[in-house]
């Protein structure tokens, strides 16, 4: 047994020597970490407060750069390393000081974060906040590696530019999870109790994971480097005899004799066992979150594989003619799988429509590729024809007049408009675009001009516009006709009300006049109004603001209430909500918000 102990001690001392950690450096490290666990340093507490403020605002602003700045400022790594050193050396005085420092630091950071959240007018959970409420075993691994390299960086003599500690601070991110806890508590008391507690629990679990993992990893490093040699202990005891906080802990222990047995903190095996059990206890909730993450990643990979296979099969055998000339190109593809059944929606630009036999053949090819039966695949093909569309030839009919007689100008105009309506009525536009109206002008000195107005949330791309123009020219039989595409944005406006008021601001009238003019010009278009509220505004404001807009449009532009509807977000308690627009109607959309304070 003695031989094994000597071998263990020799191995530790040899590793420390190879890393340049001699007796002098061990003493310096022990004293630096002990001094860092103080409650009397005002600079430390200013760093805690400022780091908490920066991290909280960075989380609310959804700014990774600001959050990284808070990580670098935060001094929490010091007291956490003191826990690892105390457990490695069996130093109960240092352990008590480290726990007191860390507990008070967490309380100050969380309290300051709560105070900031209460003063902010908005309390939306950003993606940076949501990213820190579901820790998993990968976060535990990051914290273990970060704690180990942090302890090694502290022990090694400083040579050149120090880069390890900032990297550790960024990697482990101790302050942001604490501020997420403060955010959650602030939301729980001011907005939503259950949602706030869920956020606070997630942030707390992430901080606890980082805390335990860093302390455990640093414990192993300090043990491996034999940081607590006899000479180091003697010098540390001499320093503790003159340190006020260490003397206070010693006096407290001397008052209660039953606490004296805690001084050595049990055997090394016992300390390691407690640390390992704590890690294992954390693995239970972290493994559950890791399992959910794995399921999401697997599902995404399966969907990507399905989309890749569907695209490859189409491009290999169906996108070209037999002579390899291009026939179609994929505009959009959407594929999902549920209960072994695959639903595929494919939008393509094509110069020749696909027959039912070709569609069935594609389904069979894809089923063979996926290892499924054709009955398990639901295929929806949307074809956007180009100028050489074969349907046009099928629709053209030549009719000879029964009797030849001159037609009146009115008859010629009527026949021309009917033909034009027939040609353009089923004009296919890209997805999300709806045909509203068209106008035709002719002149002696110019070609026919066809102006087509469409409604969409974004302009049609240049390639799609070229296809639509050629399609119109083919449909009306005039290759030299000019075709203009006029775009009307379906998300037409955003209206800002004064906070907690339903009176329409004067500067909004011009927007409402523009909307009323469009609704008058296009009777087939309805208006969808999305009304959102700030956190402190009453839900009754939704109906009041909606009614104010409806009254204005009805009184000035004679737009009936039936053409207006409210879209999400809606409350169940909304009264006298009009019916939604008829299915298939074109929709203009406006968003109603309260002005930022």
Residues 572 and 437 in one domain: no
> Closest by alpha carbon to 452, among 419, 410, 484, 499?
484
Residues 37 and 122 in one domain: yes
pTM above 0.75, yes or no: no
Confidence check: pLDDT of 445 > 50: yes
Domain boundary pick from 224, 256, 291 = 291
User: What does the pLDDT average to over 12-32?
Assistant: 84
Domain boundary pick from 459, 486, 513 = 486
E strand or H helix at 548, and its extent? helix 540-557
Residue 406 lies in a domain: no
- Domain extent, residue 452, equals 419-486
367: domain CATH number? 3.30.300
Residues 268 and 346 in one domain: no
Confidence check: pLDDT of 160 > 50: no
Residue 518 lies in a domain: yes
pLDDT attached to residue 163: 44
- Residue 429 contacts by C-beta under 8 Å, 6 or more apart in sequence? 435, 454, 456, 460, 468
Residues 127 and 219 in one domain: yes
Report residue 284 as tokens.
């239970």
Residue 398 lies in a domain: no
- Most confident of the ranges 56-70, 100-114, 497-511, 542-556: 100-114
Residue 414 lies in a domain: no
**Burial (0-12, 13-18, 19+ Cβ within 10 Å), 173:** buried
Q: For residue 322, report the phi and psi dihedrals to the nearest 5 degrees.
A: -55, -30
439: domain CATH number? 3.30.70
Residues 122 and 268 in one domain: yes
pLDDT attached to residue 387: 55
Among 271-280, 513-522, 555-564, 585-594, the least confident range = 585-594
Residues 465 and 522 in one domain: no
Concatenating the DSSP letter of every residue in 202-214 gives HHHHHHHHHHHHH
Q: pLDDT digit string (tens) for 331-377? A: 888 888 877 788 888 888 888 888 888 888 888 888 888 888 888 88
Residues 378 and 478 in one domain: no
* 76 in Cβ contact with 102 (< 8 Å): yes
Domain boundary pick from 268, 291, 314 = 291
Q: pLDDT digit string (tens) for 204-220? A: 999 998 889 888 988 99
Residue 401 lies in a domain: no
* 385 in Cβ contact with 350 (< 8 Å): yes
User: What does the pLDDT average to over 522-549?
Assistant: 81
Residues 446 and 546 in one domain: no
Residues 106 and 163 in one domain: yes
Confidence check: pLDDT of 113 > 90: yes
Instruction: Categorize the per-residue pLDDT at 289 as very low, low, confident or very high, splitting at 50, 70 and 90.
Output: low
Residues 498 and 478 in one domain: no
Residues 474 and 520 in one domain: no
Residue 310 lies in a domain: yes
Residue 111 lies in a domain: yes
**Burial (0-12, 13-18, 19+ Cβ within 10 Å), 596:** exposed
Residues 588 and 472 in one domain: no
> Closest by alpha carbon to 436, among 225, 256, 588?
588
pLDDT attached to residue 547: 85
Residue 17 lies in a domain: yes
User: How many domains does the structure of the chain reveal?
Assistant: 4
User: What does the pLDDT average to over 307-312?
Assistant: 87
533: domain CATH number? 3.30.1330.60
* 314 in Cβ contact with 346 (< 8 Å): yes
User: What does the pLDDT average to over 137-159?
Assistant: 81
């Amino acid at each position: 047994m003695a031989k094994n102990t000597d071998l263990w001690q020799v191995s530790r001392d040899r590793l420390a020597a190879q890393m340049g950690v001699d007796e002098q450096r061990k003493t310096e490290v022990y004293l630096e970490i002990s001094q860092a666990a103080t409650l009397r340093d005002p600079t430390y507490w200013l760093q805690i407060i400022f780091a908490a403020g920066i991290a909280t605002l960075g989380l609310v602003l959804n700014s990774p750069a600001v959050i990284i700045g808070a990580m670098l400022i935060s001094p929490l790594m010091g007291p956490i390393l003191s826990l690892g050193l105390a457990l490695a050396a069996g130093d109960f005085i240092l352990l008590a000081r480290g726990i007191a420092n860390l507990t008070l630091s967490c309380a100050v950071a969380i309290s300051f974060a709560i105070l900031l959240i209460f003063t902010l007018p908005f309390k939306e959970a950003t993606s940076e906040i949501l990213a820190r409420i579901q820790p998993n075993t990968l976060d535990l691994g990051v914290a273990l590696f970060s704690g180990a390299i942090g302890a090694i960086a502290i022990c090694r003599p400083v040579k050149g530019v120090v880069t390890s500690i900032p990297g550790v601070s960024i990697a482990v991110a101790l302050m942001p999870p604490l501020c997420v806890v403060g955010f959650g508590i602030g939301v729980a008391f001011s907005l939503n109790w259950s949602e706030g507690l869920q956020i606070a629990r997630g942030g707390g679990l992430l901080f606890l994971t980082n805390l335990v993992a860093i302390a455990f990893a640093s414990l192993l490093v300090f043990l491996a480097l034999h940081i607590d040699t006899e000479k180091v202990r003697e010098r540390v005891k001499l320093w503790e005899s003159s340190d006020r906080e260490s003397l206070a802990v010693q006096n407290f222990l001397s008052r209660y004799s039953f606490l004296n047995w805690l001084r050595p903190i049990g055997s090394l095996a016992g300390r390691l066992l407690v640390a390992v059990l704590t890690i294992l206890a954390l693995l239970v909730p972290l493994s559950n979150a890791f399992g959910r993450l794995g399921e999401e990643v697997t599902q995404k990979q399966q969907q990507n594989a399905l989309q890749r296979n569907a695209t490859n099969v189409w491009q290999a055998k169906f996108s070209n003619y037999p002579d390899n000339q291009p026939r179609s190109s994929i505009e959009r593809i959407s594929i999902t799988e549920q209960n072994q059944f695959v639903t595929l929606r494919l939008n393509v630009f094509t110069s020749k429509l696909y027959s039912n036999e070709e569609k069935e053949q594609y389904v069979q090819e894809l089923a063979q590729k996926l290892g499924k039966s054709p009955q398990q695949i639901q295929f929806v093909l949307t074809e956007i024809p180009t100028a050489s569309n074969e349907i046009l030839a099928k629709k053209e009919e030549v009719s000879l007049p029964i009797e030849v007689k001159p037609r009146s100008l009115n008859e010629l105009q009527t026949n021309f408009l009917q033909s034009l309506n027939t040609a353009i009525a089923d004009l296919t536009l890209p997805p999300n675009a709806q045909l509203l109206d068209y106008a035709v002008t002719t002149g002696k000195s110019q070609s026919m001009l066809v102006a087509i107005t469409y409604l969409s949330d974004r302009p049609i791309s240049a390639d799609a516009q070229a296809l639509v123009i050629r399609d119109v020219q083919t449909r009306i039989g005039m290759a030299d006709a000019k075709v203009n595409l006029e775009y009307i944005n379906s998300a037409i406006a955003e209206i800002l009300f004064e906070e907690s008021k339903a009176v329409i601001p004067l500067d909004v009238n011009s927007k409402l006049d523009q909307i009323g003019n469009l609704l008058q010009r296009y009777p087939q278009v309805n208006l969808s109004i999305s009304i959102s509220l700030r956190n402190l505004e009453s839900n009754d404001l939704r109906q009041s603001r909606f009614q104010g807009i409806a009254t204005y449009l009805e009184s000035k532009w004679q737009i009936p209430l039936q053409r207006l509807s409210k879209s999400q977000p809606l409350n169940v308690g909304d009264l006298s909500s009009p019916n939604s627009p008829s299915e298939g109607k074109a929709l203009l959309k406006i968003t109603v918000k309260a002005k930022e304070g």
